[in-house]
């Protein structure tokens, strides 16, 4: 049996840079819910968009290392970033192929098992299974949240094994559990532009603007996000989006862990709202949450 309140944790590169607040609040919230996260030793980049675009084998080998580390711990591996999650899932899927498994085993100089006992989970799935344990100190009353899952979390369906790829529900369930109001909107699982931010900013501005616009149309006060890449597009780029589309979006994008921490009454200082580009404090103050 794989333990259900102890997980191998793969923070991903963003955790050490642009998404420090996500990493910190993930650890904080998990601790509050009695989930033990064991950070993988000597973890490396999952390869993100770059590795597999230039070399398929490299794109599999990098996450295969993390899968092996987790297997040695005999724990399910949890990733908080949707892109890392996707790469880990795809690697686990590709490693079912004997030919690829042998190649990667040779590179890593380590025998990769054909049927590993442990699996890969996204942080959301872990949070969902522990949702009942959230201490509801400060319910997110009247806070209308647009849950944004991003396009990678559920796709491809057969490999991600997540939820309905077009209309996932777990984050909405968590927001309801926190006393907030998840809004119905059609862009939960649409693309934000992802890593095109480095090469084709125009694409990201267009797609992310559409997301923010639609969330506002649906009546959202803020976005709940589960991926550092999506987050930087939707949060850090909001100024550029406003400039490009002559709009005034002003829609804070918070990590789901920050919202859970807030509702659970964790110290606001530790939730690191100051790391966000679009300051959520005025909103939270209006709603009487800080």
Partner 1 sequence: MARVGVFICHCGTNISGAMDITRVVEAARKMPMVVTASDNKYTCSEPGQASVRQAIADNKLNRVVIAACSPRMHEPTFRKAVAAAGLNPYLLEIANIREQCSWVHAHDRKKATDKAIELVKIAVAKVIRHEPLYPREVPVTKRALVIGGGITGIQAALDIANAGHEVVLLEQEPTIGGRMAQLDKTFPTLDCSACILTPKMVDVANHPNIRLITYAEIKEVRGFVGNFKVEIMQKARKVDHTKCTGCGTCWQKCPEKSPSEFDLGLGNRPSIYIPFAQAVPAKPVIDTDHCRYIKYLQWVADGEQGKKPPECRICEKICPTGSIAWDQEPQTITEEFGAVVVATGFQVYDHRHYEEYGGGAYPDVISGMQLERLMNASGPTGGEIIRPSDGAHPKTVAFVCCVGSRDQAKGRTYCSKVCCMYTAKHAIMLKEHDPHVQCYIFYIDVRAGGKDFEEFYLRALDDAGAIYIKGRPSKIYQDGKKMIVLVEHALMGRPIEVAADLVVLATGMEPRTGADRLAQKLNISYNTYHFLVEAHPKLRPVETQTDGIFVAGACVGPRDIPESVAQGSAAAAKVVGLFSRDALVTDPVTSVVNRDRCIGCLLCIAVCPYKAIDCETTRDKRVVAVVNESLCKGCGLCVGACRPKAVDLRGFTSQQILEEVNSLWS
Nearer to partner 1, 213 or 277 (CB): 213
Quote the least distance from Cβ 149 to partner 1, whole Å: 12
CA distance 204 to 240: 10
Nearer to partner 1, 14 or 211 (CB): 211
Quote the least distance from Cβ 153 to partner 1, whole Å: 14
Q: CB within 8 A of 64, min separation 6: which ones? A: 91, 95, 104, 108, 112
Nearer to partner 1, 75 or 230 (CB): 230
Nearer to partner 1, 165 or 242 (CB): 165
Nearer to partner 1, 15 or 151 (CB): 151
Quote the least distance from Cβ 190 to partner 1, whole Å: 7
Query: Residue 56 corresponds to which tokens in the numbers above?
Result: 């398929």
Quote the least distance from Cβ 234 to partner 1, whole Å: 18
Q: Which of 102, 11, 86, 87 is nearest to 51 (CA)?
A: 87
Quote the least distance from Cβ 164 to partner 1, whole Å: 6
CA distance 148 to 134: 21
CA distance 188 to 227: 13
Nearer to partner 1, 184 or 250 (CB): 184
Q: Kindly give the interhelix angle for 82-94 and 56-73, rounded to the nearest 10 degrees.
A: 90
Q: Are 280 and 252 in contact (CB under 8 A)?
A: yes
Quote the least distance from Cβ 186 to partner 1, whole Å: 4
Cα 128 to chain center, whole Å? 13
Quote the least distance from Cβ 72 to partner 1, whole Å: 36
Which residues contact partner 1 (rule: CB under 8 A)? 157, 164, 166-167, 184, 186-187, 190, 214, 217
Nearer to partner 1, 142 or 184 (CB): 184
The DSSP letter of residue 13 is G
Q: How far apart are the first and last CA of the chain?
A: 42
Nearer to partner 1, 33 or 171 (CB): 171
CA distance 118 to 114: 12
Strand-by-strand arrangement of the 6-10 sheet? 36-39, 6-10, 77-79, 120-122
State whether residue 254 is helix, strand or coil: strand
Q: Which of 121, 169, 126, 141 is nearest to 33 (CA)?
A: 126
Quote the least distance from Cβ 130 to partner 1, whole Å: 27
């Amino acid at each position: 049996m794989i333990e259900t309140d102890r997980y191998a944790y793969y923070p991903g590169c963003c955790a050490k840079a642009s998404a420090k607040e996500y990493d910190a609040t993930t650890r904080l919230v998990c601790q509050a819910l009695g989930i033990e996260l064991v950070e993988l030793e000597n973890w490396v980049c999952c390869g993100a968009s770059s590795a597999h675009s230039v070399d398929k084998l490299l794109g599999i080998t990098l996450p295969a290392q993390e899968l092996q580390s987790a297997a040695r711990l005999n724990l399910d591996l949890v990733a908080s970033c949707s892109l890392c999650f996707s790469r880990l899932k795809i690697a686990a899927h590709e490693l079912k192929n004997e030919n690829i498994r042998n190649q990667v085993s040779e590179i890593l100089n380590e025998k990769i098992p054909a049927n590993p006992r442990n699996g890969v989970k996204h942080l959301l799935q872990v949070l969902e299974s522990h949702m009942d344990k959230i201490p509801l100190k400060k319910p997110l009353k009247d806070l209308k949240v647009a849950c944004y899952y991003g396009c990678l979390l559920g796709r491809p369906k057969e490999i991600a094994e997540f939820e309905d790829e077009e209309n996932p529900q777990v984050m909405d369930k968590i927001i309801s559990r926190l006393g907030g109001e998840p809004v119905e909107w059609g862009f939960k699982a649409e693309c934000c532009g992802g890593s095109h931010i480095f090469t084709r900013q125009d694409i990201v501005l267009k797609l992310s603007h559409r997301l923010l616009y639609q969330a506002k149309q649906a009546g959202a006060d803020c976005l709940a996000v589960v991926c550092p890449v999506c987050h930087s597009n939707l949060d850090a780029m909001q100024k550029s989006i406003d400039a490009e589309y002559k709009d005034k979006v002003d829609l804070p994008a918070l990590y789901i862990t920050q919202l859970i921490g807030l509702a659970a009454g964790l110290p606001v200082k530790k939730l690191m709202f100051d790391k966000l580009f679009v300051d959520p404090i005025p909103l939270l103050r209006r709603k009487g949450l800080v």
